[in-house]
Amino acid sequence: MTDQLPKTIRVSGQVFKIVFDDNLANDEDKFGNVNFRTLTITINGTCPIPVKTDALWHEIIEIINAQNELKLSHNKIQCISNALNQIASDNKDLI
Ligand SMILES: [Zn+2]
């Protein structure tokens, strides 16, 4: 997932479309968001690829958090997504 983001991603059996928006919350330092009604993950299109990948992992954990009502804080979601992103990037044959 480091060179290019996939067009869709399946999380817990649901297929989410991945789209890019160059104007996504540029003023808020927000790089991604997920819409559960349309099953769409939107990533800020202006970010470099490592930031986009990080944002995608973040939204994946947001989805798991919401689906399972884990009530994880944004900070914990950030920690878990950063760790998983790092593991995926350090272990290319794993994922
Ligand atoms: Zn978040």
CA 51 to ligand 1 centroid distance, Å: 14
pLDDT of the residue at 2: 46
pLDDT tens, residue by residue, 33-73: 999 999 999 999 988 999 999 999 999 999 999 999 999 99
φ/ψ (deg, to 5) at 73 = -70, 160
φ/ψ (deg, to 5) at 84 = -65, -40
Here the CATH number for the domain that contains residue 78 is 3.30.2010
Q: Is residue 66 one of the residues assigned to a domain?
A: yes
Residues whose CB is under 5 A from ligand 1 (ion)? 74
Q: What is the mean pLDDT of the chain?
A: 90
CA 90 to ligand 1 centroid distance, Å: 23
CA 27 to ligand 1 centroid distance, Å: 16
Domain of residue 80, residue span: 8-90
CA 94 to ligand 1 centroid distance, Å: 25
Q: Is residue 3 one of the residues assigned to a domain?
A: no
CA 77 to ligand 1 centroid distance, Å: 7
